[in-house]
Structure 1
Amino acid sequence: MTLTGIAQAGNPPLGPGNIEIFPKRDMVALEGYADQAGETATVTVSRNGQQVGIGEGVIDATGFLEFNHPGGSCWTGVTPNIQGGDLVEVRFSETAFTDGAYVSSAAITEVTHSDFAATDVEGDVEGTVTISGTYGDDFGTRFSLDRFVVEVVNPEMRRPDPSTPPTLIGERAIGWTPVVDPAEPNGGPGYEVTGTAENGEFSVTFSMYSAADAERVLDGEHVVTSWMADAGELALGNSLYEFGEADGPGFGGCPAGPASQAPVPPTSVAAVRSGTDITLTWSTPAQPADANPIAQYRVAAVDTVTGQEIAVRQPANPGENSAIIHGLVADQAYPLILEATNGQWSPVVQLGTLGADGTLTPWVDPTNPDTGGGTGGGGTTDPGDGTTDPGTEEPVAVAPSAFSMTRVLAGHESVTVEWTAAQPGSATSPVTGYEIVATGPAPADGTAAPTVTAQVAATATSGTVPGLTNGTGYTVAVFALAGELRTGGTAANGVSAEVTPNDVVTITRAQYRADKREYRIQGTAADTTGNRVHLRVGTVPGSGSVIQLNVPVNADGTWSVDLRNGPVLPSDNRFTVVSDSGAGLVAAMTRSR
């Protein structure tokens, strides 16, 4: 047995492997797992025993892997809204142990700044920055104020811009802890720091000896860090709450968070026919954690003679729901459909056809008749005594059930598709995987249109096709596989299968200081070839007051804006970013006074 095969596991990890969690960005980083280099790591996020997120990626040669960060792996299907109290666990493909860490409840709620008149007295305070926040009951159990630090990080505090006044600090990061180590007291050159942490609240004030340093502390990154255990220099099970960071997916192509996704609709109903009426009953299915609740249903009977729908909209109840559709033709059969909305409409669910006699016949995908029956022949088997048993037939292979594509996202030289899970056609015909096909435009010479494909696992409900050309239109299809049988997914209502890959921009930091109209914005762009981004206030790209234009995208894909005396930010705190390569984004700013 190898040493890695008997590695110990822990919650928090025992080291050298460690789990770091960034709840504001829904990001998780694995570090120190060099013994698992090359293995597939499966990371789950759970809340009260219910899984709310899962992702997979390969540990690199240094033992590192991160989720929901540029260059890292994505969460699968939905980006979990990571919160205090959640449990993050990691398992490996070839090493039999599980590490875990809980997410700390500590969070920053406010950052404020005050100026004071300068004097000639050495060590006088010329500005303060106060960082306030809260923590929960997990302190005293999983966490402790012995392992709690409020920090400000800004490289300008060590090496300021030559055009600005010199710094008295000389460090890129300064902090405060409620339990003081005599060897490392709070405070330092150029500043004092005081604070309190009690009864679930903390407040920390940095008093700076120069106004310029007070500005640098205000402009820095404000972080509260807490961890579950110490192991030498390692802070095991570390949670870092970063004030001002943007919530949600970390880069283009990753799935949206639960509050930005369409609901999971019911897939079956009970139908009772009485003359010209149909009474439908169904139950609201469980929704993903943090998803918006279903607000309304729409059920309809489709008149195949007139081509019209007889529809009813029904407010959603948490449990059982019912609706009556009136005005049907007594001797006519009607296909039934259902969809749900939580602000976004779900895929349309084909419930089947209700006959005049009240019998509900399951729906059959017209593009794949095998979804309603089977392929292959029957036969007899030999019971072993030289005779045949005509009562025992070979299993019939059945294609997977119909399913819907719920989201098609253009990425940089790629496209990402999400879908509802297809169900096995029968107990002996499991879903074995999915194939995503992106078909480009047909060449002028009449040859076949080029296609790019990607295969994903049977458990997946999303996948990405790389290797596409930006600016070129593609038609996307997803097929559920059961061996050699396949069922094509249909685009849900409002979802287009036509997509054009393009540049993708993201926001990683967005802060606005109202009293000086200062903007501190950082982000990424996927296209790094001579690309620029342009920022304006408001929600309509290309309009609104200019924050800054022609911001260059660096070779690593990052870009930043550092601006004073900019335009007044609207009260909704929204601004737009567009790139030369055609990407656009509306985002929210964190406002401070």
Structure 2
Amino acid sequence: MKPAQNEPGAHTSRLPGGRRAGVLATVSAVICSTSLFAIPAASAAVPTFPDNIVVFPDRDFVSIEGYEGHAGETATLEVKRAGKVIGSAEAVVDAGGVAFEVNHPGGVCWGAGTGLAVTPDIRPGDIVSMKFGTTAAGETTVQDTYVTGDAELSGSTITVKGHIGASVNPAQLEQRIIEPALKDTSIGRRDIRAIPGPLTPSDKGGYSSGLEVTGDTFTATYVFDDAANAEIAANAGLGERAMAWEFEDADANRQGLTIAEYGEPGGPGMGGCPNGPLQSGPPAPSGITAAKVSGGLKLNWTPAEAIPGTPAITGYRAVAVGRTVTGSEQVEIGKRISGQAATGTTITGLSANEDYDVYVVGVSSVGETFPAAHAIPVTDATAPTVSATPNGGSTAVAQTVTLTASETGSDIYYTIDGSDPVLSGGVLAPDAIHYTGPMEIASTTTLKFAAFDPSGNVSAISEVLFTVTNDPVPAAPTFTGAPVVGQGTANLSWTAPNPGAAGLTITGYTVQAYTSDGTAFGPAKTTAGNVTSLVYDGLSGDTAYGFTVRASNSNGMGPESEKTAAVTVQGALVAVAGPDQNVVRRTTATTVTLDGTGSTTTGATYQWEQVLSSATDPNKVSLTGATTLKPTFSLPVFRTPMTTSPLTFRLTVTAGGQTRTDEVKVVPVPDRVTISGAQWKTGDFRVNGTGSVVGATITFRVGGPAGRILGQAAVTAAVAPATGGVYTLRLRNAAAGTTNPGTVWIESTVGGTAGPLTVINK
């Protein structure tokens, strides 16, 4: 697991049993379980344990925890403000406690894989979301809390003040001061913490702390037993921070976590990453053309869009640079153009005997595009073409028509009275209308149009007929969710569209099924009145279908909706292995039930089997009742060589000489364990750390994860106000050995592993 920059152990979430986890701020080394699997939510929501999205807004840094069920897949992380993406990155999920990090050493830069080359200035209220392809995988809303000043020292008391917004739950707030030197004092850890409530002694002693919220301000108070320790904390090099989280589950896991670090700078977190929004120059316009015209060069382009979060584009600068070098100089003639929406300019004053290169840049308050976009002037003898969208036809209502020329910067002219917009010899007709944007055609009209490109070439005249009956029909409905399939059926629902015009009502709907090759399956089915659901029956079993729906009113039938995603209709024989399961491991074996009750029951037989990687798969379990619809098995507590990889089970249903199969995945979620420290001297060896499940047994090894066993220790409840579990292994005299063992690994009977951690000499 990768800690935060210059700080081993940067953040915490909370785990089953209440123990804080993630990259723990109390430890000098944290290596979490190597096999934590979870299935993320189907829609964007705060991730559920063991997955998490942890945001460090001051450093514009995001850490993604868990998601091991997606190991090896590429995820897309986005930061949105007011619905607009201001930062994004793609990264491959690692099979470790930290899936990946963005804008942090060892991770990826903002813009990786997405091309949005800016490090976003993450602020409270921003939404940080993740997805795999188009499937949402969770989001965190950046919490509105932060420390507003340095710690204030008065004798043996420190106070830290901060801001808490109205959207933050005060019960889900914690303040910390990080200073590694505190570990060697009576405080015994590298940080001090304050949670809402009155002054309460620390579990390790050395100080008491409490936190009070008044309006939009919080005050954390620390009272130390030793004034010298108070001074160390007040001058902490790693500083003060505020932590808030969106959701805390039944096991006290902190989900959707924000960690605001007072005094930390934003922007790129490592070399090679893009600048922040206030240091990022604007992009250049695209599609630049430079045509030789009488008196100079006519330039056209598509206006540039500022990178989200960066200053607005205020205009452009275009220059023509002569290719002739006189001495060490070249002639440069150009123009500055105001306004982001500008689409071109004409550079005049050029020599007819010189060749030029053209360069165009965008301009904003932080500078210009670098490098400039380059274009080479050309003599254009090709006539443009023009198209209309829509391209004529008969409609019940007015149409909005867009004309588009094939060459950027072309001027389009049109008529609506049947006359030609361009006369013989390329002369513009006196009644021709200059096209400036989409137009509405509300009655039957013959539209004629043509275009002149920047070099004066004229297109052919195009003619289209629009017939408008003014008999409005309903708009296309929209399906609500995917079809729900049954045996030979699909249950569909949709939203009622606009009926067409005031005073009109929807008289019914028409639903059509399509096979996978796009062929309509039989006659459409209809509903009467404004009934927005239908059970589409008579479908062939074990066949994939997509569906459309159209609404009708007294004027006729409206357009088809978009087709649903294909779904496979159940046949006469059905195998349903049930939804995938996440099973949290406990200190005793957990009973898991496989549920196939959605399968065919009449005259059917069943067989469940585990899908194994090999005959020696260490994760093999024994099913009880493998020929029933609901067999069970006991998920053993962790033991080497068994891993915490997902278990896959296949259900085979047989009836009438036919068989169907379905599979289900069971994901064992282990505990999380950490090694806080390991110290050795002759005759005395001690290892201590944390575990998320009180009652678990920790096994200590040297020489590797399966090396020599040093001993075992139980995870016991931490002393209040700390939560979760702790453990200590202490070996004395001969048991401690005569040499430093070097490194240590641990494994828990509930599945968690950690290590290696270097053993230090006392």
- Using the size of structure 2 for normalisation, the TM-score is 0.39
Higher RCO by CA contacts (8 Å cutoff, separation 6 or greater): 2
- Using the size of structure 1 for normalisation, the TM-score is 0.49
Q: Which has the larger radius of gyration?
A: 2
